[in-house]
A = this chain, B = another copy of it.
Amino acid sequence: MAPKYAPSLRSRLAPLLLCLQTGFILLAAFYFEIKETVDRDAFINLYSEYQNVNVMIILGFGFLSTFLVRYGFSGSGFSLLVAIISTQWAIILNGIEFWYYRGKIQVDLKSVLVAELYAASALISIGAVLGKTNPVHLTLIALLEVSGFALNEWLLRTLLNVRPLNGIMLLHVFGALFGLMLTAILNRANSKQGFEKEKFDRKSGLFSMLGTLFLWMFWPSFNAVLVDDRTPWRKLEAEGSTYLALAVSAVTAAAVSVLCNPKGKLNLVQLQSCILAGGVAVGVSISAIHQPWEAMTIGFTAAIISTIGFKYLKTHMLLAFDCHDTCAILSTHGLPGLLGWLAQLVLQIKDCDDHTVAIRFAVFHISALLITVTISLIMGILTGFLLKWNFWRPPQNKKCFDDQAFWEFPHLAERK
C-alpha cells in the first residue's frame, strides 16, 4: 500500500537550498564587483525597465500558475523560488566570460535584468511539469535549464555572431522544447487518465487571469529591454509593435476559441495562454519589425496557431507522445516562438536587396534555430533522466496537483 502522506522534503530541500545560497554568497564575496556607470538618463531608464521585467517574472509568471484549484500556493511560491534561484545563477554564468579575462564578475542592475530573461526561460520550462514535481526537482530544473540556455547563448554568440537581442529572445523556443522533453521523460503511468485535481474554479481562474494580465500589460517592456539604449526610438517602436500584436492576438484568440467550440463558448485557461501568443512571436522577431501592420499580422497568425494548438495539439501530444503539458507551453511559447523565428527570416529577406546577403542570413538564421533546438532537447533529456532518480522523492500520483504535499494547512481540520 502506498504511504498516506507525501514524502518529507526536509532532508532534501533544506540542505540543497542552503548549500546553493551559501555558495552564491561566497562567490559574490570573492568574485563580484560593482560596475560603475555614469550616464544619468541611463539610471532612470534602467530602473524602470528592470522593474517592469521584474513584475512579469515574479508576479506575472507566479500568478499565471495559480489556475490549478488545489495548487495555488505551490504555483505562486515555487515560481518565486525558481525565479530567484535562476536569476542568481544566471548572473554568475553570464559573468564567467568577464571573470575569465579580468578575474571578477561585474554586477549592476543591468546584469540582474538580463539574468531575469534567463529566469523567464526556466519558468516557461517548469510550466510543463508543474503539479507533478516537488520543489527539489524545480530547483534542479532551474539550475540546469539556465546552464543550458547560457551555453546556447554563448554558442550562438561566438559561433554565429548572433546579437543578444536575437539570441536571448529564442528563450521561448528553448524553454518550451526543454520543458516538453522533460515532461515526456518524467511521464507518469496514469497521466493519460488525467489527474483528479488538475482543474480550475471560478476564483483560481481569476487569480491566473491576474497573472496573465500582468504579463500582457508589461510584455512591451520585455520585448524592448534588449534593444540598444542608444536608439530610444527603436525601443519605443518595439513597445508599440508589441502592444499592437498583443491587442490583435487577444481579439483573434477570442474569435478562434469561440469558433472551435461546438457550443460557441470560451475557455478561460485556453484564452489566457493564447492572448499572450502575439507577444511571444513579436518578441522573437522584434529586430526585423518596422511597420505596425507587420506586428499586427504576426499577432493575428500567432493567436490562430496558438488557439488551434491548445485545442487539438495538447491532447494529441499526450496520447501520441506521453507528453503531459500542464500549462500548454508548446502552444503558448513553442509554436508562437517558431512563428516569430520564421517571421524574422521572411522580413529580413524581404528587406534585402542583395541575394548573397539574403542567403547568408538565411543560413545563419537556420543554424541558430538548429543549435537552439538541439541543445534544448539534449539538456531536457539529460535533466529528465537526472530527475527520474527516486532519491529526489517525487510526489505520489495521488498527491499531484495538491498543495497539501508541501504546505501546512493548520486550520483545515477545524474548518472542515
A311 smallest CB distance to B (angstroms): 11
B28 engages A292 (CB within 8 Å): yes
A58 engages B406 (CB within 8 Å): no
A201 engages B415 (CB within 8 Å): yes
Given contacts A201-B415, A206-B72, contact A408 B265 (CB under 8 A): yes
> A353 near B: Cβ within 8 Å?
no
Binds B, one of A29-37, A152-160, A316-324: A29-37
A407 engages B206 (CB within 8 Å): no
A51, A109, A266, A275: residue with the most chain B Cβ atoms closer than 10 Å: A266
Question: B residues within 8 A CB of A38?
Answer: 233
Question: B residues within 8 A CB of A263?
Answer: 5, 8, 10, 408
Given contacts A21-B251, A266-B407, contact A47 B258 (CB under 8 A): no
A38, A112, A268: residue with the most chain B Cβ atoms closer than 10 Å: A268
Which of the residues B41, B73, B202, B254 comes within 8 Å of A206, measured between beta carbons? B73
A14 engages B256 (CB within 8 Å): yes
Name the CB-closest residue of B to A412. B201
> Please, how many angstroms separate the alpha-carbon atoms of A80 and B212 in the complex?
11
A55, A214, A250: residue with the most chain B Cβ atoms closer than 10 Å: A250
> A352 near B: Cβ within 8 Å?
no
B407 engages A84 (CB within 8 Å): no
B414 engages A14 (CB within 8 Å): no
A84, A256, A406: residue with the most chain B Cβ atoms closer than 10 Å: A84
A39 smallest CB distance to B (angstroms): 9
Question: B residues within 8 A CB of A350?
Answer: none
> Please, how many angstroms separate the alpha-carbon atoms of A102 and B337 in the complex?
37
A66 engages B255 (CB within 8 Å): no
A80, A213, A243, A271: residue with the most chain B Cβ atoms closer than 10 Å: A80
A54 engages B217 (CB within 8 Å): yes
> A359 near B: Cβ within 8 Å?
no
For chain A, the count of residues having a C-beta within 8 Å of the partner chain is: 117
Binds B, one of A171-179, A234-242, A375-383: A234-242
Question: B residues within 8 A CB of A256?
Answer: 14
> A199 near B: Cβ within 8 Å?
yes
B408 engages A254 (CB within 8 Å): no
A1-59 residues at the B interface, CB under 8 angstroms: 5, 8-11, 13-14, 17-18, 20-22, 24-25, 28-29, 32, 34, 36-38, 40-41, 43-48, 50-52, 54-55, 58-59
* CB 8 Å contact bits of A84-110 with B (1 = contact, 0 = none): 110110000000000000000001110
A202 engages B72 (CB within 8 Å): yes
> Please, how many angstroms separate the alpha-carbon atoms of A263 and B40 in the complex?
51
A291-340 residues at the B interface, CB under 8 angstroms: 291-293, 296-297, 300
> Please, how many angstroms separate the alpha-carbon atoms of A265 and B73 in the complex?
12
> A131 near B: Cβ within 8 Å?
no
> A221 near B: Cβ within 8 Å?
yes
Question: B residues within 8 A CB of A210?
Answer: 59, 63, 210
A230 smallest CB distance to B (angstroms): 10
7 A–B contacts, CB within 8 A, in A order: A10-B258, A14-B259, A25-B293, A25-B296, A59-B210, A199-B411, A263-B408
In the A-B complex, the 4 residue pairs with the smallest Cβ-Cβ separation, listed nearest first, are A10-B264, A199-B411, A8-B264, A17-B255
Q: Given contacts A25-B300, A81-B254, A85-B251, could you give 13 more A-B pairs where the C-beta distance is less than 8 Å?
A: A10-B259, A18-B252, A24-B248, A28-B296, A29-B293, A34-B240, A43-B233, A44-B48, A46-B236, A51-B52, A58-B217, A76-B206, A109-B236
